[in-house]
Amino acid sequence: MRILRAESFPTRIDAIKALLVFYANLLRAQKEIYISLRSRRDWLPSGYLEEDVPVIRALAPAFLCAVERSGSPILIEEAQNLMRASEEEIDQMLLEQWRRPSDLRFFAKALLQPYARWLAESGAQVMGRDLESKESSCPFCGGKPQLSVLHTREDSSESGGRDLMCSTCLTVWSYRRILCASCGEERPALLGIYHSPDYDHIRIETCDTCRHYLKGIDLTRFGLAVPIVDEVASVPLDLWASDHGYTKIELNLVGF
């Protein structure tokens, strides 16, 4: 569904088309990792990355090849460097990202997403990831929210109808509508919502206290949206937010 949406998202902007072609390739490569993990015989993830890392490392080469085929020159060069890296270096990269996540480490984040997803689905527990526990962090893995999803009309729900989606394991959890997903600000006057006519079902949700933002995908306006893909496809909204001095809570996989 995600791959299909990335391939068919309606846009007339060539740069966005190219970005979505690349993203569809990434999703395909991540799906391969996810399927391999899920179908691995006599194995379930332990939740300790130190223990599970050889399994993820073994799946990295195919992912690196996929990026080498369709990435930007910088990513291609980085993929080639990683192809030459030692097992210890790859493990180190993954462990560092697990313990201290950064949205700037493209390869580590991309490789760990399918693992974290399978951890969440297989009922494992996340161990050894000592992240600050906040209401706005993922209840499963402690990751930051990538986006919000609105699925109930405002007037039919007092505080519900809004979920956050984790940038690491893609778990979705419910979160109050009038509450900053970064610092917890709840005074309505400091929380902004911005729309562009180009993206009727996507909004920018800002906080003037911490100056962070994330995008909300409004399924009541367009029920066929695929939040994680539509979030990537609406890059112009990120450029608008950045021009207005807001920092994204978590950059998406393609770096916006």
Q: Where on the phi/psi map is residue 177: left (φ > 0), alpha (ψ -120 to 50), or beta?
A: alpha
Toward Zn ion, which CB reaches closer, 20 or 181? Answer: 181
| Contact (Cβ atoms closer than 8 angstroms) between residue 175 and residue 181 | yes
Tokens of 170: 């893609």
Instruction: Specify the residue, 55 or 210, whose C-beta has the smaller distance to Zn ion.
Output: 210
Closer to Zn ion at the Cβ: 180 or 204?
Answer: 180
Please name the residues in contact with 152: beta carbons below 8 A apart, sequence gap of 6 or more. 160, 161, 162, 220
CB of 85 to Zn ion, least distance (A): 26
In the complex, what is the shortest distance from the CB of residue 184 to Zn ion, in angstroms, rounded to a whole number? 7
Closest distance to Zn ion from the beta carbon of 90 (Å): 22
Q: Which is nearer to Zn ion, 119 or 237 (CB)?
A: 119
Q: How far is the CB of 141 from Zn ion (least distance, A)?
A: 3
Query: Shortest distance, CB of residue 82 to Zn ion, whole angstroms?
Result: 24
Taking the least distance from each CB to Zn ion, the nearer of 24 and 250 is 250
Task: Give CA–CA dist 157/25, Å, rounded.
Answer: 38
Contact (Cβ atoms closer than 8 angstroms) between residue 234 and residue 200: no
Q: Which of 132, 226, 208, 209 is nearest to 172 (CA)?
A: 226
The residue behind tokens 């906080």 is 207
Q: Rule CB under 5 A: which residues touch Zn ion?
A: 138, 140-141, 143, 166, 168-169, 171, 180, 182-183, 185, 207, 209-210
